[in-house]
Amino acid sequence: MPNTLTGKNYQINLFLKLTIDPVTDISEIKDKSKLDIKSFTVELNNKLAETYGLDHCEYHYEKIPSRLFAEHYLEDDNPLKDYKFYCFDGVVDFFSVEIKQPLSLMSRSYNNPDFSIADISFYRDLNPPKQPFSRPENLKHMITLAEILSENYPHVRIDLYNIRGKIFFGELTYVPESGYTQWKPRSLDRYYGDKINLRKLR
């Protein structure tokens, strides 16, 4: 795949596009006929030219060639939930569930693998949901998939979606929140830091 995008060489057929929004970095496009292809192409090419990871000391991303991915737009009957599984050496320790909404309306819970509430949070975190999230019927399958995807990684976060019982892959996150978020309580920083075993990588 080339590292530039031109409107005449590619048929752009997207509901979701990258933006310069510093919070979400995405915006929804419900009506593709109103998309300004020319400015959109310029915007994407500018994103491709960025040295991703430099601003937040995530230097490992510099080794990955920049690419564009077009994905199906995911919709659910309710606001979309993002399931983020925190894995250590292929084992899910806990996961978060958050509602994909504008930042002011977003909420997040932290759960143990049995879906009980985990005694975990971060400073300046999102608010917990007003009503507890319901447990997905196929949660065990989601955990199995997360553990398969995280095999041989000292630590990685596996992001999944679950829409009407169908599981969709989101991403692998090697440095959640760029490593800046502070654990609450702070003792968890050492606890989870000790779980990251880098000896196997030598």
Distance, CA of 98 to CA of 114 (rounded, Å):
17
Q: Identify the bridge partners of residue 127 per DSSP, sorted by sequence position.
A: 107
Instruction: Write out the residue limits of the CATH 3.30.470 domain(s) in the chain.
Output: 81-201
Residue 86 corresponds to which tokens in the numbers above? 């925190």
Assess whether the previous peptide bond of 185 is cis (omega < 30° from 0).
Answer: yes
Beta pairing class for 26-28 and 16-18:
antiparallel
* Across 112-127, average pLDDT: 91
Record: fold of 81-201? D-amino Acid Aminotransferase; Chain A, domain 1 (3.30.470)
**Mean pLDDT of the chain, nearest integer:** 81
% the chain with pLDDT above 70: 82
Question: What are the tens digits of pLDDT across the range 127-178?
Answer: 899 889 999 999 999 999 999 999 999 999 999 999 999 999 988 988 888 7
φ, ψ (nearest 5 deg) of residue 156: -160, 150
CB 168 within 8 A of CB 83: no
